[in-house]
Amino acid sequence: MIRGAGSFLRELLEEMAGEAVLTVVACLVVGGLALGFVWGWERSPLVTGGVGGALLVFLGYGGWELLRPAKPGWRGRLAGAAATTFAVAAVFIAYAWSCNCS
């Protein structure tokens, strides 16, 4: 009985610590992206807008590749990289949503 409670508490604490670390990392990434955008906008708004637009297109392509109906065959490296980037961005957005960065 005691061992079961101890392992439950250990697992609960590990989960809470993992969630906290992921939330902090997500908040730091959001803050870094915001600072990078502001710094880039001060240097060259055209290049910053172009890079931001290209990143949004890449994320959109990754979401489309990840959520489209599966076809038989092999997907290319770019499709895999875009889908992975979209998935990581979605997880970061989900965790950064709970951080009070604004």
Question: What mean pLDDT, rounded, does the chain reach?
Answer: 83
State pLDDT tens for residues 78-90: 888 998 999 988 8
Q: Where are the domains of the chain?
A: 2-96
Written as one string, the DSSP assignment of 22-67 is: HHHHHHHHHHHHHHHHHHHHHH-HHHHHHHHHHHHHHHHHHHHHHH
On whether the pTM is more than 0.75, the answer is no
Most confident region among 23-32, 58-67, 89-98 by mean pLDDT: 58-67
Residues 85, 91: Cα–Cα separation, whole Å: 10
Q: Which residues contact 66 (CB under 8 A, 6 or more apart)?
A: 83, 86, 87
State pLDDT tens for residues 28-46: 888 888 899 999 999 999 9
